[in-house]
Chain A
């Protein structure tokens, strides 16, 4: 089996994996980073979104060998070393941007990619950007609100639903 090296959340990591191993499975099974969730395993739900070399990808739709030598960021790398949530995660908590939490890792990683590209997105831009992330609990409203809040925009006028 080939040995795969990658830098995950700033740390060099390596493990052996078959060519057919998906990046999502490699992260979860071989590197024990189970924060990346596998919802549909068909590339549709977005729960498995991570960043590879700075861009959001669906890790269930990418082979681990394709990420060899890359910098990978997962949900585990978002909070500070002492566990302090970053601004985006804190906004999800403050605005109740999750219920069961299963889609949340992917939502946070997709939102982080959006805010990097577009630091103050409109509500429509946030909704359009999340079209590849499915949430079956919240109706998206508070997720969108949390992302707008994390971008520093005033969300006091947006009613909770």
Chain B
């Protein structure tokens, strides 16, 4: 990889200041960014590590019952610390990558990257989470804007993510065993106001809510045989558009079955 300057600030304020310089890039756990740098697909002039910021780490239950997870919290820590409060989210975190990846990768890094096959975007969108940054709060419904694209501005840092805890939830991941990403993943969460269904790994636009299925559930209909449009799904050597659309239906039904 090309060389770069390196800073490791101890606070969010210092990190924001460090990211103001030209071509600076935040570094979370590096599990995607470092391979990207090695391939010279990115060449930042400066990396600003978020790993030394204690205020961005940890899981805590808020007074209103929602769960806040620091942007710098590793997948392994979420798997452990969220298990008692939000088991479906903890299970999702515990299934990302492999154990060594989970010890480095962070929730903020995953959401900032918004890989179309990553697990966390489906949990954030499926839970109607709030992405909290150094400067504002962004609703998940507004945050995800397509392939590797989010509402984040240049130099904006995800300091925490606030999850409303659902009555019930389940994540079904159809594993792509070589990459350990989701070939398709479906996160279903049931709240008093209705059921939210978020799908990762399937669409060329990244994570999306399967609104037709949400509406069908709201009207009391069954999802038997239902699948989203194959048009706009990802097609690659692992699966066609039609296959991914079909998997979306199957995994949604499996998640609902697991929640029943």
Contacts and interface: CB of A to CB of B under 8 A. Distances in A.
A49 B1 CA distance: 20
Interface stretch (B64-72, B83-91, B98-106, B148-156): B98-106
Contact of A63 (B30, B76, B97, B180): B30
Contact of A46 (B6, B27, B98): B98
A61 B98 CA distance: 13
A120 B107 CA distance: 30
A42 B30 CA distance: 12
Given A20-B2, A43-B34, A62-B34, A129 B99 contact: yes
A29 to B, nearest CB: 15
Contacts of A63: 6, 27, 30, 34, 47, 49
A73 to B, nearest CB: 13
B6 A58 contact: no
Given A55-B76, A61-B31, A62-B30, A20 B100 contact: no
A20 B1 contact: yes
Nearest to B104: A57
Contacts, number: 72
A19 B98 contact: no
Interface in B98-137: 98-101, 103-104
A42 B101 CA distance: 12
A118 to B, nearest CB: 11
B180 A19 contact: no
B35 A42 contact: yes
Contacts of B20: none
Contacts of B34: 22, 43, 61-63
B48 to A, nearest CB: 11
A58 B101 contact: yes
Given A43-B34, A56-B100, A66 B4 contact: no
A18, A61, A132 pick with most chain B CB within 10 angstroms: A61
B100 A19 contact: no
5 residue pairs, one from A and one from B, having the closest CB atoms:
A132-B98, A19-B6, A55-B103, A56-B100, A58-B100
Interface of A: 2, 18-20, 22, 41-43, 46, 49, 55-58, 61-63, 65-66, 110, 113-114, 129, 131-133
30 contacts: A2-B6, A19-B6, A20-B2, A20-B3, A22-B34, A42-B38, A43-B101, A55-B76, A56-B100, A57-B100, A57-B103, A57-B104, A61-B35, A61-B104, A62-B34, A63-B30, A63-B34, A63-B49, A65-B6, A65-B49, A66-B30, A66-B51, A110-B99, A114-B99, A131-B98, A131-B99, A132-B97, A132-B99, A132-B100, A132-B180
